[in-house]
């Protein structure tokens, strides 16, 4: 019963739309500009650097907090994992935004930081390297999402946490489905092109 209650709480925490709230403070709605996504990257474009940073920090903290909360109440590894996934689901399908939301990467990363900060740092460095090599944000993100379960397996992580990474991969593929299609249709801008476009605005 304790685990179920904490999973529900994790969903509610994940549902807190920091990206939306930080934009509204600036008089902007991320759903009405840029890509229309309620996530830190789009908030940066729509509402500026401060709102973008606040959104990113808030979204990361959601994932971090639910893992720490699950551990505080001595949940099993499966309990921790389901709380973490519940927070990502909350971010992607927020109760407070009519079950819409962002793409869950920052919240997924926040939980990963709580699980193993050094591993999370390695993932971030590999993500940056992927972006440098591919010059595209979305393909780099998807590549890293595929890579994380494999890295966990190589690092002898428990199956529960590999399941978490696979669950986050599935959610990531779903929330990025339009971006993936745009990339496959060769309509996706490189990181440099995207930055130049938004700086003009």
pLDDT tier at 138, thresholds 50, 70, 90: confident
36 compared with 141, residue with greater pLDDT:
141
The whole-number pLDDT of residue 200 equals 56
pLDDT for the residue 46: 67
What's the pLDDT score for residue 148? 97
Average pLDDT over every residue of 89-117: 93
pLDDT band at 178 (very low <50, low <70, confident <90, very high): confident
Q: What is the pLDDT of residue 79?
A: 97
φ, ψ at 94 (rounded to 5°): -70, 130
Angle subtended by helix axes 49-72 and 105-115, to nearest 10: 40
| Confidence (pLDDT) at 185 | 84
Q: Give the per-residue pLDDT at 195.
A: 61
Task: Render pLDDT for 17-58 as a digit per residue (tens, 0 to 9).
Answer: 888 777 777 666 666 765 656 666 766 666 667 777 888 899
- Looking at residue 197, its pLDDT comes to 59
What is the DSSP-derived secondary structure letter of residue 33? S
Tokens 């008089």 appear where?
Answer: 27
In this predicted model, which residue has the larger pLDDT, 199 or 155? 155
pLDDT at 85: 97
At 110 the pLDDT is 96
Task: Supply the pTM of this predicted model.
Answer: 0.89
Distances (CA, A) of 60 to 46, 55, 104: 20, 9, 9
Mean pLDDT of 141-151: 95
Distance of alpha carbon 15 from its chain centroid, rounded?
12
For every residue of 108-145, which 3-state class applies, written as one string? HHHHHHHHCHHHHHHHHHHHHHHHHHHCCHHHHHHHHH
Residue pair 172/142 in contact (Cβ under 8 Å)? The answer is yes
- Across the chain, what does the average pLDDT equal? 87
């Amino acid at each position: 019963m304790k685990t179920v209650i904490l999973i529900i709480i994790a969903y509610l925490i994940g549902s807190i739309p920091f990206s939306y709230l930080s934009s509204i403070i600036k008089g902007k709605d991320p759903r009405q500009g840029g890509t229309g996504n309620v996530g830190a990257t789009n908030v940066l474009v729509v509402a500026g650097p401060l709102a973008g940073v606040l959104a990113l920090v808030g979204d990361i903290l959601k994932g971090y907090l639910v893992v720490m909360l699950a551990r505080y109440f001595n949940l099993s590894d499966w309990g921790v994992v389901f709380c973490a996934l519940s927070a990502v689901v909350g971010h992607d399908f927020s109760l407070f935004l009519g079950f819409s939301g962002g793409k869950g990467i920052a919240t997924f990363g926040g939980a990963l930081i709580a699980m193993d900060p050094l591993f999370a740092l390695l993932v971030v460095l590999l993500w940056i390297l992927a972006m440098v090599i591919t010059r595209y944000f979305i393909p780099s993100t998807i590549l890293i999402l595929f890579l994380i379960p494999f890295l966990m397996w190589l690092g002898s992580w428990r199956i529960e946490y590999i399941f978490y990474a696979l669950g986050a991969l599935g959610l990531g593929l779903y929330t990025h489905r339009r971006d993936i299609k745009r990339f496959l249709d060769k309509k996706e801008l490189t990181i440099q092109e995207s930055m130049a476009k938004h700086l003009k605005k």
